[in-house]
A and B are shown apart, each in its own frame.
Chain A
Amino acid sequence: MAALTKLLEVRSLSKKFGGVLALDRLDLSVAPNDILGLIGPNGSGKTTFFNVVTGIYPADAGSVIFERVDITQAASRTVYRAGISRTFQRSRLCLSLSIFDNIMIGNHKRLNQGLWFNLMRRSDFKRQFEESYQAARTLLDVFEPRLCDRIFEPAAGLPMIDRRRIEICRALINEPRLLLLDEPSAGMTHEETNELMDDILQVRDRKKNLTIIIVEHEMGVIERITDRCIVLNFGRKIAEGPYRQVAADKQVQEAYLGVAL
């Protein structure tokens, strides 16, 4: 079988909400192990793109192909099982649950969900629990070792940076092949963002098999970690290429600032 050149291939993807065309025949592709930046003014369709790929909204037209499998109309959980994980623009943690529980939600496909196993085979369950605890702890340790001792405390009351970290752990715990990051820097300082990005890259280096698409408004992040960018405006792709190139593009400047510099 030929080597996979495109991990994710999106062709002519369209999505309408009432009268608003949120995605307009979008073409996009990511190579394995790439880091792709997805930028554009507010409302340009970036989060909608994530939502359509992960099956939260059905696409109106076009196709999404992941590892040669068509997942265009796949349900959210099928997309997850295929190996795509995501974070959300506004932090969606279950605050009344413990940090461990929140991370484990992301581990769903690796945990035995059978009724008999969970209710009756308690010693086997205990073993899986302890393994999961170790895995969660190891991952969390990369991001914030101080959280590890509090891993069974509720996630409520933690500062935003810690919540983002937990969300990212939740997305990474099941070793996805594609990670969709939706504005991970929102609500954090420059230093915190840099630290977070470094940690994500550290995980990526360990796994050696992680592709990332990152939606961001903070251009410093995009410039630093992405190989390539795609700029959206009104749901259409208006530029593509390395960040420097794209930042100098007249159309992109107009989209953001209203006027070319």
Chain B
Amino acid sequence: MDAGLLAQYVMNGLMLGMMYALVAVGFTLFFGVLDVIKFSHGDVLTVGAFTALATFAGLRGIGIDYGPINLFAMLAVAILSMAALGMLIARLIVLPLRSAPALNVLLITLMLGTVLRESVRLFYPQGANPKPFPALLTQASIDLGRFNLRLDNGLMLAAGVLIIIGLQVLLNRTKLGLAIRAVAQDEETARTMGINFTAVVLITFAIGSALAAFAGVINGLYYNEINFSIGLYLGVIGFSAAIIGGLGSVYGAILGGFLFAGLQTIGTVVLPFASAYKDVFAFAVVIAIMAWRPTGLIQEKISERV
């Protein structure tokens, strides 16, 4: 295979992996602190992306059309509002239902995801159609041999990597991160050690949702369009990635995200006749991995006491 083409595939795989990893980390964080699967996570990404788009349209409307400023504003609005939404969901729905069977939370968040998705489709102007997303990053590119590296992709990838590193730093080197990990390990002990459980949970949900918003904007910039079901798709992938990595493990989520992207890339190369089959291939492998290692490649925390 042509080196340039190979490099293109690799670049694409890295971008996708980064996006999936961002979503997967959210799932794993939520499961870690609360033992819940928040199925609406993917749709929060959608809302984030559309919020960014609305911000852009709004700014344009009042005459502000300078790329970097718009981008910054979009990111800020999307991230902050999704963080708020995440906290709201945690406060109103997930926390109150902690004692209910896990199934109920799964179902409720699934339905919540539908509410978010349908709301976008119905209430955003022309929400049912794919919406063009502005290309706000530089359009320049460099030629590296036979590979044409688009600078905007490079920027996004770098940004994503920085965020993931930042998250790891947060979790492993800060007091907040310690509190999150403590709550994830053992809620009761964490409480008795003086950690404000509710606050930690809310912050965790805020962080996870903010990551989703960021991923949503990146997704829009990468594909230059967004549609109302993008969150569902990314959510399922993110969730699968989190599972094969081992729910509760942040490393696992990141690993899972890049693994899934890798599988999709292999699928595209091996089955060039229809791009849809790449997903069939990737999911088939995921299902096989789940059958082989039901608790993920990195062990999921065991919680049942017999």
User: Do A and B touch directly, given a CB cutoff of 8 Å in the complex?
Assistant: yes
Contact residues of A with B, CB < 8 Å? 47, 51, 56-57, 88
The 8 A CB mask of B294-306 against A (1 = contact, 0 = none) is: 0000000000001
- Total interface residues in chain B, CB < 8 Å: 1
Chain B facing A: main interface SS: loop
Interface residues of B in 279-306 (CB under 8 A from A): 306
Q: List residues of chain A with CB within 8 A of the CB of B306.
A: 47, 51, 56-57, 88
Chain A facing B: main interface SS: loop
In the complex, A57 Cα to B306 Cα: how many Å?
A: 10
A-B pairs, top 5 by smallest CB distance, nearest first, are A51-B306, A56-B306, A47-B306, A88-B306, A57-B306
Contact residues of B with A, CB < 8 Å? 306
In the complex, A16 Cα to B306 Cα: how many Å?
A: 15
In the complex, A51 Cα to B306 Cα: how many Å?
A: 8
Listed A/B pairs (5) with beta-carbon separation below 8 Å: A47-B306, A51-B306, A56-B306, A57-B306, A88-B306
In the complex, A88 Cα to B305 Cα: how many Å?
A: 11
* Shortest Cβ gap from B189 to chain A (Å): 16
* Shortest Cβ gap from A96 to chain B (Å): 11
Nearest to A47 among chain B residues (CB) is B306
* Shortest Cβ gap from A65 to chain B (Å): 23
* Shortest Cβ gap from A99 to chain B (Å): 22
In the complex, A196 Cα to B306 Cα: how many Å?
A: 23
Q: List residues of chain B with CB within 8 A of the CB of A56.
A: 306
In the complex, A51 Cα to B304 Cα: how many Å?
A: 13
* Shortest Cβ gap from B104 to chain A (Å): 14
Nearest to A56 among chain B residues (CB) is B306
Nearest to A88 among chain B residues (CB) is B306
* Shortest Cβ gap from A136 to chain B (Å): 26
* Shortest Cβ gap from B294 to chain A (Å): 16
Q: List residues of chain B with CB within 8 A of the CB of A51.
A: 306
Q: List residues of chain B with CB within 8 A of the CB of A47.
A: 306
Nearest to B305 among chain A residues (CB) is A90
